[in-house]
């Protein structure tokens, strides 16, 4: 199987955000699918919902992958998010235990967030014409000074120091494998694997929404990626991003 992701890697010493860099490159030229832009130092990393992404220079992986998932209807865009999250989780599972995906696409080890994913899609006639998949994965950083609530690095968990460049190629291979599944339309496999690894799946835990603090049990996600939480009263609530808080 030919690898799409990672066969073409551009390394940039310092930039603001790899997602912005990839978007700017795309404006001026047609780039090959799977092109990767990786920064040694990303000084203005962006997170979900206008958050920032902290990363100490030369310690972590901060990169963006350019994809053309034009086989995906916009209604299925969450499948791409699942496939990418699973690729990152597959990679981590080979190095440590307790890896999970906190809905929608934060990657956790135990109770700490080890990776974040920011996917920015362009749409043409109901299909995803291009997608910039930004991934920040904490590898060797030991101290976090930003205001993210619970960051952790792989090295803090395993007490090892890693060769960042080597890890990037393993990680790309894992994401590539999941992207091929997606291309082949293996949604059942992707959905099943994603559900199984969801953070707090099937456990009674505390959540809050715009109405209440409540105890609930995550059942999975629906077809469009909304999180389904059962309440003690037996009701099944469905949430879009940012509509529910994990307490």
Closest distance to ligand BTN from the beta carbon of 131 (Å):
13
Q: In this chain, which of 5, 6, 15, 19 binds ligand BTN, going by CB under 6 A? A: 19
Closest distance to ligand BTN from the beta carbon of 113 (Å):
7
Residue-by-residue DSSP string for the chain: ----TTSSEEEEEEES-HHHHHHHHHHHS-PPTT-EEEEEEESSEE-GGG-EE---TTTSEEEEEEE--TTSBGGGHHHHHHHHHHHHHHHHHTT-S-EEEETTTEEEETTEEEEEEEEEEEEETTEEEEEEEEEEE--S-----SS-SSB--HHHHH-----HHHHHHHHHHHHHHHHHHHHTT-HHHHHHHHHHTBTTBT-EEEEE-SS-EEEEEEEEE-TT--EEEEETTS-EEEE-TTS-EE-
| Closer of 144 and 187 to ligand BTN (Cβ) | 144
Angle separating helix axes 187-196 and 77-93, nearest 10 degrees:
60
Closest distance to ligand BTN from the beta carbon of 222 (Å):
22
Closest distance to ligand BTN from the beta carbon of 84 (Å):
11
Footprint (CB under 6 A) of ligand BTN, residues 27-66: 42, 45-48, 51, 53, 62-64
Closest CA to 105 of 132, 130, 86: 86
The interface mask with ligand BTN, positions 219-238, x = CB under 6 A, is --------------------
- Tell me: does residue 5 bind ligand BTN (CB under 6 A): no
Footprint (CB under 6 A) of ligand BTN, residues 102-121: 106, 116-118
| Closer of 39 and 237 to ligand BTN (Cβ) | 39
Closest distance to ligand BTN from the beta carbon of 136 (Å):
3
Question: Residues binding ligand BTN: what is the number (CB under 6 A)?
Answer: 20
Which region among 25-33, 73-81, 133-141, 171-179 touches ligand BTN (by CB under 6 A)? 133-141
| Binding interface with ligand BTN (CB under 6 A) | 17-19, 42, 45-48, 51, 53, 62-64, 106, 116-118, 134-136
């Amino acid at each position: 199987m030919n690898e799409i992701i990672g066969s073409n890697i551009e390394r940039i010493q310092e930039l603001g955000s790899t997602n912005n860099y990839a978007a700017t490159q795309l404006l001026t030229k047609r780039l090959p699918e799977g092109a990767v832009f990786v920064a040694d130092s990303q000084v203005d990393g962006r997170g979900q919902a206008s958050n920032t992404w902290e990363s100490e220079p030369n310690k972590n992986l901060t990169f963006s992958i350019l994809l053309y998932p034009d086989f995906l209807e916009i209604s299925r865009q969450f499948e791409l998010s699942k496939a990418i999250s699973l690729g990152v989780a597959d990679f981590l599972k080979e190095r440590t235990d307790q890896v999970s995906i906190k809905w929608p696409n934060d990657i956790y080890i135990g109770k700490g967030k080890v990776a974040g994913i920011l996917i920015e899609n362009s749409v043409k006639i109901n299909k995803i014409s291009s997608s910039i998949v930004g991934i920040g994965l904490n590898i060797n950083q030991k101290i976090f000074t930003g205001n993210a609530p619970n960051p952790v690095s792989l090295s803090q968990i395993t007490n090892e120091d890693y060769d960042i460049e080597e890890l990037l190629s393993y990680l790309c291979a894992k994401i590539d494998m999941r992207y091929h599944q997606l291309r082949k339309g293996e949604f059942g496999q992707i959905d099943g694997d994603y559900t199984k690894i969801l953070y707090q799946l099937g456990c009674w835990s505390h959540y809050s929404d715009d109405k209440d603090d409540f105890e609930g049990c995550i059942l999975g996600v629906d077809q469009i990626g909304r999180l389904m939480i059962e309440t003690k009263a037996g009701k099944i609530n469905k949430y879009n991003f940012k509509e529910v808080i994990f307490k």
